[in-house]
């Protein structure tokens, strides 16, 4: 209990800091501007043109900033990626925002370097050393739905700097299939045992940030991680920014393809060329091949690898076959829908919002499965409520209605359905928190 609680506290402490940083960067707009951590992005118009002083080409879309604008050498070089932001190509600093020690153990969660190439990827690798540790609020683990504890990892990932398409699709292994920009890994849609982790039987085990730890403490996302923002806002008015990378080196973007249209809806739009393939990727002339997270739609993050994977990233890749995965969602949640409604279903960004959560005590009982959540909804107010990345700042309960206050930042991700997670302190066997969950209950809209 003690360390889990501390975990919450540390994260709470750092959240306001990160939010203000984010707003500051966003307000700089597309102009070249100095952020707390240096220039976040600068135009890449005609990328054959000269790079600014202190920036050197690396390979593919990657460049490296070794010196700041004043000419002083940086202690940590910045790795920048050429991406289309709005209508202009920009070199974007995807990682600096996450290169910090938010769990206070003396090591930054994410550390970046680069290495020379191999036979399969001669152009070299971006090296990501990661603690795999969430830098956003999470549920307290273990809890009534998950016996595991989130543990700091010592991952080393190798992203090909120049990803190459493969003649065959590589099948996704179990375990890490890619990494979010915060160093937390993506998993395929299945739990050990082969069940869909996002829909049906197992969906309740993910916390409000769409993640949970497995047996060795690896916290991972099975679907669009609503709590990971790249340093850039996603207001749904343009192509979503990059949120991570797959083990073939191709980027994973958030859900939007263009204003108000998610990538998985593109086939219904005027541009059938943009329909996502079974790997959840597509091409455009500026970005090349890239994947999209698809909230509410299998395979949610990746369906397979279109590119040549770097096998060092997951032992399972050496014997991975070919082909894409198929949905096998079945069965009902092992926990009944104890949350019968969340109202309103949409809130505006930029202020305190009141939300009510209706509990249905008649459904609080669950089938007696191993590790299940047997027992009725406890009396009293929950100790913790989180919807997507937003922690409730006030919680009260009258009868079966829980009323919470959420502080929604000005730069919230818009339009994506968020999950709701409730915890009753020490209400489950062994003093663990009793957790209840309902997916896709609230979105932030202007
Ligand atoms: Zn899982
Ligand atoms: Zn796209």
Burial of 407 (0-12, 13-18, 19+ CB in 10 A): middle
Identify the CA nearest to 255 among candidates 273, 270, 234: 234
Instruction: Give distance in angstroms: CA of 307 to centre of ligand 2.
Output: 16
Q: Report the separation in Å between the CA atom of 197 and the middle of ligand 1, taken as the mean of its atom positions.
A: 6
The dihedral of CA 86, 15, 21, 47: what is its sign?
negative
Q: What is the pLDDT of residue 367?
A: 44
In this structure, the number of other CB atoms found within 10 A of the CB of residue 250 comes to 25
Q: How far is the CA of 293 from the centre of ligand 2 (A)?
A: 10
Give the CATH class of 339-444.
mainly beta
**Residue 83 CA: which ligand is closest?**
2
- Centre of ligand 2 to C-alpha 245, Å, is 14
pLDDT value, residue 34:
31
How far, in Å, from the CA of 203 to the mean position of ligand 1? 9
Question: For position 317, what pLDDT does the model report?
Answer: 95
| pLDDT per residue of the chain (446 residues) written in tens, 0 to 9 | 333 333 332 233 223 222 222 322 322 232 223 333 334 566 665 555 578 889 999 999 999 999 988 899 999 999 999 998 878 888 999 999 899 898 899 999 999 999 999 999 999 999 999 999 999 989 889 988 888 999 999 999 999 999 999 999 999 999 999 999 999 999 999 887 777 888 765 566 789 999 999 999 999 999 999 999 778 889 999 999 999 999 999 999 999 999 999 998 876 566 778 899 999 999 998 999 999 999 989 999 999 999 999 999 999 999 989 999 888 766 555 555 688 899 999 999 999 999 999 998 765 444 444 344 446 788 899 999 999 999 999 999 999 999 999 999 999 999 999 999 999 998 887 888 888 888 899 999 99
* Interatomic CA distance for residues 442 and 385, integer angstroms: 13
Which ligand does the CA of 207 lie closest to?
1
- Quick one: which ligand is closest to 190's CA? 1
CA 317 to centroid of ligand 2, rounded, Å? 26
369: closest CA among 330, 339, 336? 336
CA of 282 to the centre of ligand 2 (A): 6
User: Which ligand sits nearest to residue 275's alpha carbon?
Assistant: 2
Ligand nearest to the CA of 148: 1
Q: What is the pLDDT of residue 241?
A: 94
> Collapsing DSSP states into helix, strand and coil, what is residue 342?
strand
Query: To which residue do tokens 């309902």 refer?
Result: 438
Residue that the structure tokens 């489950």 belong to: 428
Residue pair 19/349 in contact by the 8 Å Cβ criterion: no
pLDDT at 49: 59
Q: How far is CA 293 from CA 42, 59, 208, 217, 264, in A?
A: 26, 26, 17, 24, 9
Nearest ligand by distance to the CA of 300: 1
Domain boundaries, the chain: 1-331, 339-444
Tokens of 165: 């398409």
Please state, in angstroms and rounded to a whole number, the distance separating the CA atoms of residues 278 and 326: 9
27's enclosing H/E stretch is helix 2-27
Nearest ligand by distance to the CA of 252: 2
Residue-by-residue DSSP string for 117-186: --SS-TT-EEEEEE----SS----SSBTTB--------EEEEEESS--EEEEEEPPPSS-SEEETTSPEE
Instruction: Let me know: does 397 contact 356? Beta carbons within 8 Å.
Output: no
Looking only at the bridges linking them, the beta strands covering 346-347 and 305-307 are unpaired
- Separation of 263 CA from ligand 2 center, angstroms? 6
From the CA of 3, how far away is ligand 2's center (Å)?
Answer: 41
> Whose CA is closest to 172, among 338, 380, 374, 323?
323
Q: How far does the centroid of ligand 1 lie from the alpha carbon of residue 319, in Å?
A: 21
Could you say which ligand is closest to the alpha carbon of residue 280?
Answer: 2
Do residues 410 and 403 touch, judged by C-beta distance below 8 A? no
What's the number of CA atoms in the CB half-sphere (13 Å) around residue 305?
27
Phi, psi of 11 (to 5 degrees): -65, -40
């Amino acid at each position: 209990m003690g360390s889990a609680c501390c975990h919450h506290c540390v994260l709470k402490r750092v959240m306001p800091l990160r939010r203000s940083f984010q707003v500051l960067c966003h307000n700089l707009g597309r102009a070249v501007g100095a952020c707390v951590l240096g220039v976040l992005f600068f135009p890449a118009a005609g990328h054959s043109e000269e790079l600014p002083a202190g920036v050197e080409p690396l390979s593919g879309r990657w460049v490296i900033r070794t010196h700041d604008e004043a000419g002083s050498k940086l202690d940590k070089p910045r790795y920048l990626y050429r991406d289309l932001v709005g209508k202009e190509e920009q070199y974007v600093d995807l990682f600096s925002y996450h290169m910090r020690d938010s769990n206070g153990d003396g090591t930054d969660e994410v550390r970046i370097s680069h290495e020379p190439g191999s036979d399969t990827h001669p152009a070299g690798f971006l090296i990501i050393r990661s603690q795999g540790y969430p830098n956003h609020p999470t549920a307290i683990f273990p809890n009534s739905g998950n016996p595991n504890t989130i543990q700091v990892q010592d991952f080393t990932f190798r992203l090909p700097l120049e990803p190459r398409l493969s003649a065959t699709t590589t099948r996704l292994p179990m375990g890490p299939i890619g990494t979010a920009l915060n160093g937390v890994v993506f998993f395929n849609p299945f739990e050990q045992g082969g069940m869909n982790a996002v829909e049906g039987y197992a969906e309740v085990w993910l916390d409000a940030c769409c993640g949970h730890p497995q047996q060795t403490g690896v916290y991972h996302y099975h679907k669009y991680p609503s709590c990971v923002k790249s340093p850039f806002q996603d207001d749904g008015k343009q192509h979503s920014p990059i949120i991570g990378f797959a083990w073939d080196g191709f980027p994973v973007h958030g859900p939007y393809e263009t204003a108000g249209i998610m990538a998985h809806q593109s086939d219904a739009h005027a541009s059938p060329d943009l329909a996502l393939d079974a790997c959840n990727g597509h091409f455009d002339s500026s970005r090349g091949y890239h994947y999209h997270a698809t909230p509410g739609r299998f395979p949610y993050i990746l369906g397979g690898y279109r590119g040549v994977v770097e096998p060092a990233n997951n032992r399972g890749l050496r014997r991975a076959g070919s082909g894409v995965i198929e949905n096998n969602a079945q069965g009902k949640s092992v926990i009944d829908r104890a949350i019968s409604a969340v109202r309103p279903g949409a809130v505006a960004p930029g202020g305190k919002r009141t939300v009510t959560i209706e509990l249905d005590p008649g459904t609080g009982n669950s089938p007696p499965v191993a590790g299940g959540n047997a027992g009725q909804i406890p009396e009293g107010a929950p100790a913790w409520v989180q919807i997507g990345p937003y922690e409730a700042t006030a919680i009260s309960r009258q009868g079966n209605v829980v009323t919470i206050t959420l502080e929604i930042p000005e730069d919230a991700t818009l339009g994506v359905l968020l999950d709701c997670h409730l915890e009753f302190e020490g209400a489950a066997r062994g003093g663990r928190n009793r957790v209840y969950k309902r997916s896709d209950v609230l979105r932030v809209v202007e």
